[in-house]
């Protein structure tokens, strides 16, 4: 489980720009990153997010899961999410 309260404070743009209004930090993300961030903010579970990736991208289940958890680690590293 991850805590997404910080993520909800961020401004996401359709172009993949992520802005933290409290620190001024700007991140950029590709379209799949944006899809995951949007899904997390909507409160979707890991399995639902993995299925969204499978629907939109031509990858297998294992790759989708691995990439999803890699991305979670990036989000933890940047402080956008925390372990609950």
Partner 1 sequence: MIFITNCAEAGWSKMLNIGITGLNAGDSPAPGVPVVRCLTEHPDWSGKISGMVYDALESGGLDRKLVSSVYLLPYPKAGREALLERISYVHKREALDVIIPNLDAELPNFISIREELADMGIRMFIPADEQFKRRSKVNLGKLAAEIGINTPKTRLVTDSSCIDVRQDELPAMVKGLFYDAMMAYTLEEVRHHVHKIASMWGYPVLIQQFIEGEEYNAALIGDGKGNMMAVAGMKKLVFTDKGKGWACVSIFNEGLNELAEQVVSALAWPGAMEVEAIKSKKDGKFYLIELNPRFPAWIYLAKAAGMNLPHLYLQLALGKEITEKMEYRSGVVFTNYTTNLITDLDRISTLFTNGEVEYYAKAV
Among 5, 15, 22, 55, binds partner 1 (CB under 8 A): 22
Taking CB under 8 A as the criterion, the residue among 5, 8, 14, 21 binding partner 1 is 21
Instruction: Find the radius of gyration of the CA atoms of the chain.
Output: 12
Which one of the spans 24-32, 33-41, 42-50, 70-78 is the region binding partner 1 (CB under 8 A)? 24-32
Asked if residue 46 lies in contact with residue 37, where contact means CB atoms within 8 angstroms, the answer is: no
Residues that bind partner 1 (CB under 8 A): 11, 19, 21-26
């Amino acid at each position: 489980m991850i805590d997404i309260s910080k993520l909800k404070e961020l401004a996401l743009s359709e172009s993949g720009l992520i802005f933290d209004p409290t620190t001024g930090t700007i991140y950029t993300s590709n379209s799949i990153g944006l899809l995951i961030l949007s899904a997390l903010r909507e409160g979707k579970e890991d399995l639902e997010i993995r299925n969204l990736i499978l629907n939109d991208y031509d990858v297998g289940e294992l790759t989708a899961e691995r990439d999803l958890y890699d991305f979670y680690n990036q989000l933890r590293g940047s402080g956008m999410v925390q372990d609950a």
